[in-house]
Chain A
Amino acid sequence: MLRLLQIEFIKLWNNKSSKFLILCYFGLLVSIALFASIKFNIGPIRFHLAEMGIFSFPYIWHFNTFIAALFKLFLAIIIVSMVANEYSNKTLKQNLIDGLSKKEFILSKFLTVLAFSAISTLFIFVVSLLLGLSFSDFNEVGIIFRDLEYLIAYFIKLVGFFSFCLFVGILIKRSAFALGFLFMWFIIAEIFPYIYLMSKYSKEFADKVFAFSPFGSMWNLIAEPFTRLNAVKSIASQVGEEVNRDFAVHWYELLIVLGWTSIFIFLSYYLLKKRDL
């Protein structure tokens, strides 16, 4: 297993653009800390984001994983190209000839996906912990380590999304087209039908259906955190809107994403096995 990870590491780390993108990604994760410095004064109103409670435990786990998950698009480029380039350089063929089995090939890519997701989760854990410790109003251990299920959801969300990228990379074989396909899938297979269902039936019905789609299920894992903020809540109640959402991470949502993950990995293997190179 370590050998497969090392193989993938050699391939990625010697590639300047992959290296650049990986460093950029982790740089972006750290940049979440920059939210802390958002301050502006509008006349008498002083606005300091860090003091709005976004860095308070345990809310910070929710907020940071939600924001950090948006950056995964960066790594998507790497995942897609690390698969598609094997086709365009024909190195996949050479790898197999050299004695890598097709199973090992898929496994080495999937392990890389797991490694990226794990490192990213660890990263976000450390960044959030440090931010929380410096800005949170509550610093009791019991509160700090509450709601850590958001980190699990974050990890699963990344694994699911990258597995989708992996599969599309193998399916399309060209990085640019594969990224295009992901985008088209997002718009045509998920956004448009969602809007259609929403307008024809109801938002609840559309939500139910798309809880089972690849992107929909990943999106559901971590609910948007903004309406949970006290400041936002109080503004909402002033305009007469009662915010009463379910922000929790549910086991069945995790299960759906894990289901997609296994489907994508299995299909990748199946495609590779069936194809002549």
Chain B
Amino acid sequence: MENILTINNLTKKFGALTAVKDLSFTIKKGNVYGILGPNGSGKSTTLGIVLNVVNSTSGSFTWFDGNTSTHQALKKVGAIIERPNFYPYMTAEQNLKLVCKIKEVSDHKIDEKLETVGLLDRKNSKFKTFSLGMKQRLAIASALLNDPEILILDEPTNGLDPQGIHQIREIIKKIAAKGTTILLASHLLDEVEKVCSHVVIIRKGVKLYSGPVDDMNKSFGFFELKSEQKSALLIWLSKQNTFKDFKEEEDNKITAFLAQELDAESLNRQLFEEGIVLTHLVKRKESLEEQFLQLTNNLN
């Protein structure tokens, strides 16, 4: 598969602070990537480096297998970094015309893209009169003007109201459905979980994981169990090596983490044979949030 972006041992130091440390990963065409990390973990710095606005201390990155210079490559990229930045005194249309000039594409797609983000009726309004949600949507329209190979979004829903967040997510889903490669940086895990197929997790500038969302944690899931014979159940669990860990929750529920594959039916049968009757049995996979917390906590 074609590589869109390759990052090799990228490091960025701000004085004594190391914002990004020896980071390497590859973005391949057609996938939707999420860069996850708590605030200040180096997500934006990494994106800043590959987008030509931050100088790296060491390491390198190449766009499109290194066939073009960075600024030429960026013409095939659509990117939104943190806040939307446009000329406040210019209208939506004038701003987009300027972007077309910079990207060297014709400006006949302006109306179409404004339509995509629902701003066509405001195209002659000045940028400064826009609400934050509209500004963000204009930024997306601007990023789409060149029908980019990859769309980079850095915290696209930050600071928006629920309606705005919903609109942005719908737009992202629509774009992802067309097969555009997307790189989404966020600290909102459900956002990433909903749209991404691959994740890169960084904390304090260090990569913890990169790969498909499903392989993120070699986890077999966990059971939520309830029984009137709680003590017997606990004793039984402690004897099993199919479970690596278990804990009692406050509502008499027991959460038991699997160390190997086991389905709910066989567990139920085994317990019944031991004379333990369950009142509650649920098998679950960890959500991305739980996996993320586990992964980041493991290193603490």
Contacts and interface: CB of A to CB of B under 8 A. Distances in A.
Contacts of B86: 89, 91, 94
Contact of A99 (B48, B75, B85, B90): B75
Contact of B79 (A3, A97, A274): A97
Contacts of A96: 51-53, 71, 74
B85 A90 contact: yes
Interface residues of B, number: 33
Contacts of A6: 101
B27 to A, nearest CB: 16
Interface string B71-112: 111110101010101111110001001110111100000000
Nearest to A16: B89
B89 A101 contact: no
A82 to B, nearest CB: 11
Contact of A95 (B54, B97, B102): B102
Nearest to B47: A97
Nearest to A93: B53
A104 interface: yes
B129 interface: no
Given A3-B104, A99-B102, A100-B102, A14 B87 contact: yes
Interface residues of A, number: 26
Contact of B103 (A16, A99, A104): A99
A100 B72 CA distance: 8
Contacts, number: 82
B55 interface: yes
B94 A98 contact: no
Contacts of A14: 87, 89-90, 94
Contacts of A10: 90, 94, 97-98, 101
Contact of B101 (A7, A15, A102, A273): A7
A182 B75 CA distance: 36
A45 interface: no
Given A10-B94, A93-B85, A277-B48, A99 B53 contact: no
A274 B83 contact: no
Interface in A89-128: 89-91, 93-102, 104
Given A14-B90, A91-B87, A7 B53 contact: no
B81 A97 contact: yes
Contacts of A101: 52, 69-71
Interface of B: 14, 48, 51-55, 69-75, 77, 79, 81, 83, 85-90, 94, 97-99, 101-104, 142
28 contacts: A3-B104, A7-B101, A10-B90, A10-B101, A11-B98, A14-B87, A15-B90, A89-B87, A91-B86, A96-B51, A96-B71, A97-B51, A97-B52, A97-B79, A97-B81, A98-B74, A98-B75, A98-B79, A98-B102, A98-B103, A99-B71, A99-B77, A99-B102, A99-B104, A100-B102, A101-B52, A101-B69, A277-B53
The 3 closest A-B pairs by CB, nearest first: A99-B75, A101-B71, A99-B74
